[in-house]
């Protein structure tokens, strides 16, 4: 149990560092950027207390906000993502039994299963992020395009990170 | 009342979700408008010093480029010192020291959001105050909106609600430069009177009307001017002279007369 807590704390710190110091500096075609820190929320154990899930999501979002000086922007997106996570899991994987320790990773859900799960949540997060940022629907299709392309970019990086770390174990 | 609490507790997942979202959106809305972002900024010394450590390291990669730019900058300044002019040259006017420039280093910058922020490594103890202008080697960069002891946050010219008072260099016509929010390379001028025709390459400079920037600092160059027959004011697209993706060093503009000007304006308001 303790092991899981430590593992998640380390994951939290590493993802924040990677996001703030490497990915936030990245700028593809002038407007695309990946947000892989959401992997922290994706990989929290299945049985994480729902309230804790929201609080942790709020924390990581706010941390990213502090570094980018975007008060509340990432926090609102991560909280929304954490809010729908339990529903997404029960819709996609309602019939799978999970133990206390298991996390919704590639090992448990498979390549495709994890992809479905991650894609939906990452998409929701990015959608919320870009629309909150624009604070309007006036450029709806531009924002939608950015959301979609950024989601793809984030997904690619998420898979790369997941593979890098699953090999070591 | 009791029933309400029972209801909230029974739906505590949803309640907590609502509470956290409200906090986030509250924070977000305080930072949305320029006026309010002046009174609210997350700038603090902890995140600042972390970002600085990182940029200390990453700056080594840009040393060569930086040196080149500093040399260019130096050469430009050398051209302006008294010794560079003939003694008989009376066309040069030496300005009274109205503006002071303070160099600063960028430790964090974004340019793909709708509201882009820049964090620099100078703060309150260096005399930085809110609403000071910031320029780069090539032109206008932004305005200080948040100050902590050692760091400050700027609202970049790439912010959807930023509006810079500018003028067309050739004829002194006043215009406003804004940023439409998509590409970090291009800005927009919205209020060009119908009798004016801009050409590609025309220079847009700061007007000096706001006491934030000195007059004549380059903002950008006109890329295209769409004239509309049916409207009095037309639009033009400009290319920013500053490349926000390659920005590492900036100068903060201190207006030495700001205090006096501000109190003068207040005086007029109060009467």
Interface predicted TM-score of the whole assembly (ipTM), two decimals? 0.85
What is the overall mean pLDDT for chain A? 85
Question: A30, A69, A140: which to substitute to probe chain B, counting the most B Cβ within 10 Å?
Answer: A69
Mutate which of B8, B11, B17, B22 to test chain A, going by most A C-beta atoms within 10 A? B17
End-to-end alpha carbon distance in chain A:
18
* pLDDT value of position A95: 76
Map out the domains of chain A as residue ranges.
2-168
Residue A23, pLDDT score: 83
pLDDT (0 to 100) of residue A126: 93
Q: What is the mean pLDDT of residues B226-249?
A: 83
Residue A74 in contact with residue A68, Cβ under 8 Å? yes
Q: Which of B31, B44, B111 sits opposite A27 (nearest CB)?
A: B111
The mean predicted confidence, pLDDT, of chain B is 80
**Burial letters for A1-20: b for 16+ Cβ neighbours within 10 Å, e otherwise?**
eeeeeeebeebbeebbebbb
Query: Per-residue pLDDT tens for A64-108?
Result: 988 877 788 899 999 999 999 999 988 888 777 777 778 888 888
Q: Which of A21, A68, A72 sits opposite B25 (nearest CB)?
A: A72
R_g of chain A computed on alpha carbons: 15
Using an 8 Å CB-CB cutoff, list chain B residues near A68.
108, 110, 117
Which band of pLDDT confidence, cut at 50, 70 and 90, is reported for residue A38? very high
Give the pLDDT confidence score for residue B32 in this predicted structure.
62
| The pLDDT value given to residue B142 | 92
Pick from A102, A150, A142: which is nearest to A124 by CA?
Answer: A150
A52: pLDDT confidence band, cut at 50, 70 and 90? very high
Q: Which residues of B touch A32 (CB under 8 A)?
A: 112
> For position B215, what pLDDT does the model report?
83
Q: Convert the pLDDT of each residue in B105-163 to its tens digit.
A: 888 887 777 778 888 888 889 889 888 999 888 889 999 988 888 889 888 998 887 88
- Paired residues of B108 in beta bridges: B119
HEC string for B51-84: HHHHHHHHHHHHHHHHHHHHHHHHHHHHHHCHHH
Place A169 in a pLDDT band, splitting at 50, 70 and 90.
very low
Domains of chain B and any CATH numbers: 41-82+95-160+245-270 (2.40.10.340), 164-240 (2.40.10.350)
pLDDT digits (tens, 9 = 90+) for B35-51: 555 555 555 677 777 77
Does the structure show a pLDDT above 70 at B226? yes
Please state which CATH number belongs to domain A2-168: 1.10.1760
């Amino acid at each position: 149990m303790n092991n899981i807590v430590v593992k998640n704390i380390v994951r939290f710190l590493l993802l924040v560092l990677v996001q703030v110091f490497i990915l936030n500096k990245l700028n593809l075609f002038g407007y695309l950027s990946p947000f892989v820190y959401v992997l922290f929320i994706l990989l929290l154990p299945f049985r994480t207390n729902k309230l804790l899930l929201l609080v942790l999501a709020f924390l990581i979002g706010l941390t990213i906000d502090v570094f980018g000086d975007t008060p509340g922007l990432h926090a609102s997106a991560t909280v929304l993502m954490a809010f729908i996570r339990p529903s997404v899991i029960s819709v996609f994987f309602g019939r799978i039994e999970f133990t206390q320790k298991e996390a919704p990773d590639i090992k448990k859900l498979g390549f495709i299963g994890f992809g479905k799960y991650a894609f939906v949540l990452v998409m929701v997060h990015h959608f919320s992020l870009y629309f909150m940022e624009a604070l309007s629907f006036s450029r709806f299709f531009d924002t939608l395009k950015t959301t979609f392309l950024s989601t793809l970019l984030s997904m690619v990086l998420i898979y790369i990170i997941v593979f890098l770390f699953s090999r070591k174990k | 009342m009791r029933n309400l609490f029972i209801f909230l507790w029974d739906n505590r997942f949803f309640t907590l979700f609502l509470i956290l979202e409200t906090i986030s959106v509250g924070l977000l809305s305080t930072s949305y408008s320029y006026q309010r972002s002046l009174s609210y900024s997350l700038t603090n010394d902890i995140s600042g010093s972390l970002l600085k450590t990182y940029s200390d390291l990453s700056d080594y990669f840009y040393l060569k480029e930086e040196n080149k730019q500093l040399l260019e900058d130096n050469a430009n300044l050398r051209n302006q010192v008294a010794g560079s002019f003939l003694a008989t040259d009376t066309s040069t006017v030496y300005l009274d020291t109205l503006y002071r420039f303070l160099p600063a280093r960028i430790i964090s910058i974004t340019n793909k959001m709708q509201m882009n922020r820049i964090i620099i490594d100078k703060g309150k103890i260096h005399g930085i105050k809110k609403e000071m202008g910031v320029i780069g080697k090539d032109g206008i960069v932004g305005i200080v909106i948040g100050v902590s002891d050692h760091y400050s946050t700027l609202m970049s010219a790439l912010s959807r609600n930023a509006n810079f008072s500018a003028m067309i260099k050739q004829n002194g016509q006043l215009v406003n430069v804004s940023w439409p929010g998509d590409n970090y390379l291009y800005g927009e001028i919205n209020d060009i009177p119908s009798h004016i025709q801009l050409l590609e390459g025309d220079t847009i400079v700061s007007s000096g009307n706001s006491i934030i920037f000195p007059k004549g600092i380059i903002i950008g160059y006109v890329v295209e001017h769409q004239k509309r027959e049916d409207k009095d004011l037309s639009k033009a697209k400009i290319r920013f002279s500053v490349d926000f993706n390659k920005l590492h060093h900036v100068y903060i503009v201190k207006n030495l007369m700001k205090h006096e000007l501000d109190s003068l304006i207040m005086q007029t308001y109060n009467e």
